[in-house]
A = this chain, B = another copy of it.
């Protein structure tokens, strides 16, 4: 077999302890706890990292470039028009991007069979861009991701590229996108519960 099961199990124990600690100190995105436990409940899976979806404002040349860019604002819940206007009015260095991302989960599975099952469940729940991203001795790493998201340019340098009279509509759509992502997370949890006994 590709995966060293004893090494994998040690990692799972470690990650479970960390998850419980994160929950204890309130570090964990609360919407995620239930669904992450649902993954851990499976004999052949544990999660490594996850995000329930968020709104980020970033000062960057291009939205996917992290080098030299600055995160101005980050929130895992809907944003307000005031928050948005506040951000727009601050001077920036490059471009101002508003990035709304759907949920993303990275997990490790103990076998290819389990990896295929979980990615297939995820796809059914609307995580259309799910797949195996790495096959290693310590686990088969899968990424579960939907196509949900918006990448909006707000300012080029300090020139505003959006209609400032319609910021409320922009914020409304941005929040709707965020919530659509959270819905898929809920759907995934329901499906994991349904397939608890399937291995």
Contacts and interface: CB of A to CB of B under 8 A. Distances in A.
A9 interface: no
Interface in A113-150: 116, 119, 129-133, 135, 143, 145-150
Contact of A173 (B95, B131, B147): B95
A147 B64 contact: yes
Interface of A: 62-64, 95, 112, 116, 119, 129-133, 135, 143, 145-153, 156, 159-164, 166, 169-170, 172-173, 176-177, 180
Nearest to A153: B173
27 contacts: A62-B180, A64-B146, A64-B148, A95-B173, A116-B135, A119-B133, A129-B129, A129-B143, A130-B133, A131-B131, A131-B132, A131-B143, A132-B133, A149-B151, A151-B151, A151-B152, A152-B152, A153-B173, A156-B166, A159-B169, A160-B163, A160-B166, A161-B162, A161-B169, A161-B170, A162-B162, A163-B163
Per DSSP, are chain A's interface residues mostly helix, strand or loop, or mixed?
mixed
A112 B115 CA distance: 14
A150 B147 contact: no
B163 A161 contact: yes
Contacts of A169: 156, 159, 161
A153 B170 contact: yes
A63 B95 CA distance: 22
Contacts of A135: 112, 116
A135 B116 CA distance: 8
A63 B150 CA distance: 8
A169 to B, nearest CB: 5
A172 B61 CA distance: 13
A160 to B, nearest CB: 6
Contacts of A143: 129, 131
A95 B132 CA distance: 34
